[in-house]
Amino acid sequence: MKQDQPFDAVVLMAFGGPGGMNDVRPFLMNVVSERRVPSERLEELARRYELFGGVSPMTQITLRQAAGLTERLKSQGINLPVHVGMRHWRPYIQDALTAIAAGRGRRAIGFITAAHHSYVSCTQYKKQVAQARRALLQASQPDVAVTYVDSWFDHELLIRAWAQQVHKALDKLEPTLRHEARLVFTAHSIPLHIAQACQYRQQLAESARLVAQAVGRTDWALVYQSRSGPPSEPWLEPEVCAYLMAERARDLRAAVLVPIGFISDHVEVLYDLDHEAARLCRQHNLPMVRAESLNDHPLLLDMMAEVVAHTWHHHRDHLALPVYCPL
């Protein structure tokens, strides 16, 4: 580490996804490794991935995000390599920290690509970072301490990026329907007992409110998708497809689906929204469009660079160096 800089690298973390048909089942086994999931459920999930050739676009999108973040930081005079680390597939979080350590990095800024905080969306990533650090020490390699960026679920640039995507989606509707369309924000459902112990729902609702406000809409709803738990366990509701069908019966004229809980396309977004929700809307004659995911939207990349740069400058100017947190 250079004496005048508080960090050596950035580790950009995402869920991960398979890169081909041969990856699908090993990837899914990683995802469910801590849960008992019936084999028939795994096969159902595998078939969903197979609809898309066994490829999740998330890895390539995250790599593009890393490239855009690197460029933006460099333009601000912050020359940090950005390493991608996935939770459930290659390149793993362990791979990212190993690469940082091999390059003589000792402190990194951590950016988890989940805006809304819960055990599932954030804490599990931090647990994997801790596991990766222990693995480095057990392999007699240098430790890499990770300092995480501040919350960004309500960041102005994030809201502006989503507002742009919503405007583009509205333009795809027939002109007579645009003012009647409801914004239906979607996010990954989580078990109710986890939601009650964190700010996940509240942060999602605030993000949705801010985007709706930026677009000039008051008719909006927050719903959930991708539930994977047993029927006996309560999860966050309403489920997106059930909601759309119920509201269609109440004469909903049109809907714009906005996957506010995700920043990148992946199979859950593509299957749940573009495949299943779209199919049901066609069957019930409900005009529906989906706002495109942010992916590597320029404003998203600007936001990522801003929060990383804030962490950099905060530790450089006020704390000299981040507090080293040994395991």
Asked whether residue 84 falls in the same domain as residue 176, the answer is: no
Strand partners, 82: 10
Instruction: Confirm if 8 and 106 have CB atoms less than 8 A apart.
Output: yes
The reported pTM is 0.95
CA nearest to 158, candidates 11, 294, 10, 14: 294
Q: What is the pLDDT of residues 29-52, one digit of tens each?
A: 999 887 777 889 899 999 999 999
Tokens representing 172 are 């795809």
Confirm if 25 and 39 have CB atoms less than 8 A apart: no
Q: What is the extent of the structural domain holding 83? A: 9-152+297-317
Tokens encoding 126: 């931090």
In-domain check, residue 164: yes
Q: Let me know if residue 15 belongs to a domain.
A: yes
Asked if the structure places residue 181 within a domain, the reply is yes
Residues 213 and 137 reside in one and the same domain: no
Whether residue 249 is found in the same domain as residue 312: no
Say whether both 141 and 55 belong to one domain.
Answer: yes
Which residues, at least 6 apart from 62, have a Cβ–Cβ distance to it below 8 Å? Answer: 12, 14, 84, 86, 113, 264
Which residue type occupies 204?
Answer: L
Give the residue among 59, 48, 109, 64 at the shortest CA–CA distance from 311.
Answer: 109
Per-residue pLDDT, 231: 82
Task: Please report where in the chains the tokens 């909903």 appear, as a residue.
Answer: 252
Q: Are residues 177 and 265 in the same domain?
A: yes
Question: Which pLDDT score is estimated for 39?
Answer: 86
Domain count, the chain: 2
For residues 217 and 311, membership in a common domain is answered with no
Over the stretch 145-194, which tens digit does the pLDDT of each residue have? 999 999 999 999 999 999 999 999 999 999 999 999 999 999 999 999 99
Are 42 and 106 part of one and the same domain? yes
- The answer to whether position 66 is within a domain reads yes
* Same domain (yes/no): 178, 313: no
Half-sphere exposure of residue 42: CA atoms within 13 angstroms, side-chain side: 15
Residue 34: predicted pLDDT: 72
In the chain, what's the furthest Cα-to-Cα distance? 66
Q: Does residue 227 share a domain with residue 116?
A: no
Q: Would you say residue 1 lies in a domain?
A: no
Give the chain's residues under pLDDT 50: 323-324
In a shared domain, residues 128 and 143: yes
* Residue 80, domain CATH: 3.40.50.1400
Q: Where are the alpha helices (DSSP H) in the chain?
A: 24-31, 39-50, 58-75, 93-102, 124-138, 156-170, 175-178, 192-195, 200-215, 240-249, 267-269, 278-283, 298-317
Rounded Cα distance between 213 and 228, Å, is 32
Same domain, 145 and 217: no
Q: Is residue 2 part of a domain?
A: no
| Domain co-membership, 268 together with 221 | yes
pLDDT at 323: 46
Does residue 28 belong to any structural domain of this protein? yes
Residue 163 lies in a domain: yes
